Chain A
Amino acid sequence: MNLFNFFGKKTFSHGIHPEGFKEETHDHQTRRLPFAEQLTLPLSQSVGKPPIPIVHIGQQVQRGELIAKANGFMSVPLHASVSGTIKKIDLVPNAATGDKEKAIIINTALSSPQTSIQGTYQEFEQLSRDELIQSVQDIGLVGLGGAAFPAHVKMNTPKDHHVHTLIVNGCECEPFMTTDHRIMLEQIEYLFRGMGIIMKAVGAKKAIIGIEDNKLNVIEAIKPHLPKDGHITIEAVATKYPQGAGKMLVYSLMGIEIPSGHRSTSIGVIIYNVATLASLGELFPYRQGMIERVITITGDNLNKPGNYLVPIGTPLSHILKYAEFTGNEAELILGGPMMGIPAGFLNTPVKKSTGTVLVLDKRSSKDSDISPCIKCSMCLQACPINLNPSELGLLATKRKYDVMEDQYHLKDCFECGCCSYVCPSNIPLVQYFRIAKTLNRERYKQEET
C-alpha cells in the first residue's frame, strides 16, 4: 500500500519542490495568436513515422486541409494550420536533435479565416473501437503533454491487457506551465467528451482525474460536471515534481507501481494528458485536423506573458513579438524548465507537442563550474525512481556505460532531471545519462547488424 497516502496527501516518494512561477499566466484567459506571415510545418510531429506530403509547391491550401497523409499505422497525418500557398517543401533544423528534417512551408494568405474545414458529423457512442482509432488517427492527434506519442496508437491497447481505468493527467508539475490549468477551466466539455471517446475505445469503466493541489480552483470547477454514478472521480495529489510523470501519478492515485519496462496498460491503466483529451473532444465530432494548440508563453522580459492559442508551425520570433519580448538576449526553451528542449534558432516552429515557450534570461555561466561528487546523497533522495545518480554519474565520467545499464538500471531513468536540480557539486547528471543512453542505443544497433 502507498504509505504516503496513509498520511494524507496522495503522492509518491522523493522528487523535488521547485518554485512554481505560474502566477504570471494562470489567471489569463487563453488568447488567439494572429497568424505569422509564414508557417513551417515539420512533417514529423510525433515519435512515429513522418507522414507523406500530398501537396505541391504553389498549391493553394485551406486551413484544416490535409497536406500530408499518414504513412502506416505508426504515423500521424498533418493538416494546414493556415490558408495560403505552399511555398516549398524543404529541410529545416530540428530543435531537439539538431538534425535536418523535412517540413512544409506555407505562405499565409491575407484573408486566412479562423475557422477550419469540417467533415461530416459523427457521434462517438455509435462507433466501434477500430472506427474510433481510425478517426483519432485522421485527426492527427499526438500526446500533448510533451511525449508526442501518437494518440491513436496508445488507444490500440494490446489484446491481453484488460484496461479498466483511464487516468487523466492534469498535474502539470513543471514550473511555469499553465496550459493544462487553463484548458481544464475553459474546455471542460471537450475534456469530458475526449475522456468518453478513449474510455469507449479501450473499454475502461472508470476514470480518475488527477490534479495537483495547487489548482484547487480547477477541482471546484470540474466537480459539478462529474457524472452522478461516480464512475469518473477527481483527486487532488501533492504538488511536487515530477507528479505528472505517468508512473508517479499512477502510484500516487492507485498505489501501484507500473513494472519496469512495461506499459501502464499491463496493469490495466491508460494515461492521457488533459490537453490531449480536450483537443480530441473538440476536433472529433466534425473530424477536424489538429492545427493549433494552447501554449504557455512565459518567462523573463515579456510584457504580455500568457496562454495563447497558437497555430502549429508558428515561428518563435512571431511569438516573441506578440508576447512583447523586451530583452536583447535570451535562452529559448520549448517545454518546461525541467525537461524542455532548447531552441537554437528564432525561426524554430512550434510543434504539436510544444506546450510551453519559456524565455529565460541568459544565466551567468559562473555557476557551471563542476566540482567532484561529495557523496552528499541528495540526488538519491531526489530520484523518484530510486536510482543511484551519484554512482551513475561517476560511472559516466569513466565511460562505463554498459555497467550503468547492467548494474545501475540506467534504462529506468526517465530523465526527469531531479538529480541535476539538487546536486551541490553542479554535476550535470541527467545530461550525462542522456548521452550514455544514446551511446548505449547506438552500440546495440551496431551489435545487431
Chain B
Amino acid sequence: MENQPKIDIRTSPFIRKAPSVAEIMRNVVYALLPIACYAVWQFGLSALVLMITTVLACIATEHMFCKLSNKKTTIGDASAIITGLLLAMTLPPGFPLWMGAVAGFTAIAMGKTLFGGIGFNVFNPALVGRAFVQAAFPVSITTWTPALATNRFVEFIPSTLALPFMKPAPTAEWTTQVTIDGFSGATPLALMKFQGVMTDTYDLFIGLSAGSTGETSSLLILICGAYLIFKNMLDWRIPAAVILGTVISAECFHLLDATKYPTSAFMVFSGGLMFAAVFMASDMVASPVTPMGILVFGLLVGFLTVIIRLFGGLTEAVMYAILFGNAATPIIESYTQPNIFGYKGKKKP
C-alpha cells in the first residue's frame, strides 16, 4: 500500500454558493461608508478623525492580539473595521480622540478577543467599547455639539484634541459661536426627557439634529440597510422586529398619556434607534439564529429601549437594550428551537 497515490476526496455537496465571511463584512463596510460621509458633512473634521482613530485602534488591537496568541491575523475579514466604524458612530462627534482610541481598544480586547475572536463574541464588540467609555468618561460622552456648525470643515471641535487624562476643553462657548440660534447642547431625546420639548420628526428623519456621529439620519440608514438586505447579507427580520417592538411599546405609553409620552414615530427616528436596529442589533454573532428567537430578540430590544428611555436616566437607551438582548440570546435560543418537519401533531420529544 506504500505506493498508493494520495487521493484527496471531498464529500458532497461538491458545489457551494455562499458569500465568504470576509465578503459579507466588506459589504457591511460599504454600507456604512455613506453614513460615515454624511456624518462628516454634518459634523466636520472632528467626526472624520474620530472615525479614523477608532478604526485604527480596532485594527491594531485585533492584530496585536492575534500576534500575541500566535494566530494568523484576522484583520483581513474586515470585521474590526466594522467595529471601529460602528463605535465611532455611537460617540459624540467632539469626543476626545484619545478616549476614542481607548474605546476601540476595549471594544476588541474585551468585546471580542476575550471570547475567542469572531464567531464567539457574546456581545456586539462596538457596544462593549461604548459601554466602557460611557462609564469611564461620563462627561465627554454626553457633550453634544450641533450639526452643521459653520466652521466645521476648518477647525476641530475644541474637545477633540484633548490630551490624554486632561480635562477636555469646554465646548459650550464654541457652540454658541458656531450656531445661529440658541443651541442647548442637548439631543432630541434629552430635550424630550428633561425639558419636554419635541423635535420635529421630519428633522429627525433627515438627521439635522444634534446627536452621536452617525446616528442621526434615519433615511440614509434605511437606504444603506436596504442595500445589505438586497445583497442577502443582512437579516431584515432583526431590524424589523426591533422597530416593531419599539413602535408597539411606545404607542402603548403614548395612548396612556399623550402629554407625557412621545409618539412612536419620535421614538423610532430619534436617538440612534434606527442605526442600532439596522447595524447593531443585527450583529449576526450576538443575535439568535432561530426564526422565533429573532422575533423575540427584536421585540425585547425595542421594548427595553422604550422602557429605559422613558424611565431610566440614560437617553442612549438602545445600546443597553441591545447589550441586554445579546446577553439573553442563549436563553432565547434554547427556548425557540424551530419545529422540525414531520412532527406535526406529535409531541416534541
Instruction: Give the interface of A toward B (CB within 8 A).
Output: 16, 18-19, 175, 247, 251, 257-262, 331, 333, 335, 337-342, 344, 358, 360, 365, 367, 371-378, 380-381, 384-388, 390-391, 408-409, 412, 417, 420-426, 428, 430-431, 434
Contact = CB atoms under 8 A, between A and B. Distances in A.
Contacts, number: 146
Main SS at interface, chain B: loop
Interface size class of B (residues with CB under 8 A): 35 or more
Given A372-B118, A386-B341, A426-B20, A380 B13 contact: no
Contact of B13 (A338, A344, A381): A338
Interface of B: 7-21, 23-24, 77, 117-120, 235, 284-291, 294, 333, 337-346
B344 to A, nearest CB: 5
A424 B289 contact: no
Contact of B119 (A18, A258, A259, A375): A375
Nearest to B237: A377
Nearest to B289: A377
A374 B337 CA distance: 18
A371 B119 contact: yes
Contacts of A375: 119, 284-289
26 contacts: A175-B15, A257-B342, A260-B341, A340-B12, A341-B11, A342-B12, A360-B14, A367-B16, A371-B118, A375-B286, A377-B284, A377-B289, A385-B340, A385-B341, A386-B340, A387-B340, A390-B289, A391-B333, A409-B340, A412-B342, A424-B19, A424-B24, A425-B21, A425-B119, A428-B11, A434-B11
B12 A417 contact: yes
Nearest to A248: B341
B342 A337 contact: no
B120 to A, nearest CB: 6
Given A344-B9, A386-B341, A430-B12, 10 more contacts: A333-B12, A338-B12, A342-B9, A342-B11, A375-B287, A375-B289, A385-B340, A386-B338, A387-B340, A434-B11
Contact of A423 (B11, B18, B284, B341): B18
B17 A422 contact: yes
A384 B341 contact: yes
Contact of B235 (A344, A372, A376): A376
B122 to A, nearest CB: 11
Contact of A342 (B10, B119, B338, B343): B10
Contacts of B12: 333, 335, 337-342, 417, 430
A260 B346 contact: yes
Contacts of B343: 257, 259-260
Given A375-B287, A380-B291, A257 B13 contact: no
A421 B19 contact: no
Contacts of A342: 9-12, 14
B241 to A, nearest CB: 13
B112 to A, nearest CB: 12
A16 to B, nearest CB: 8
A259 B342 contact: yes
A249 to B, nearest CB: 13
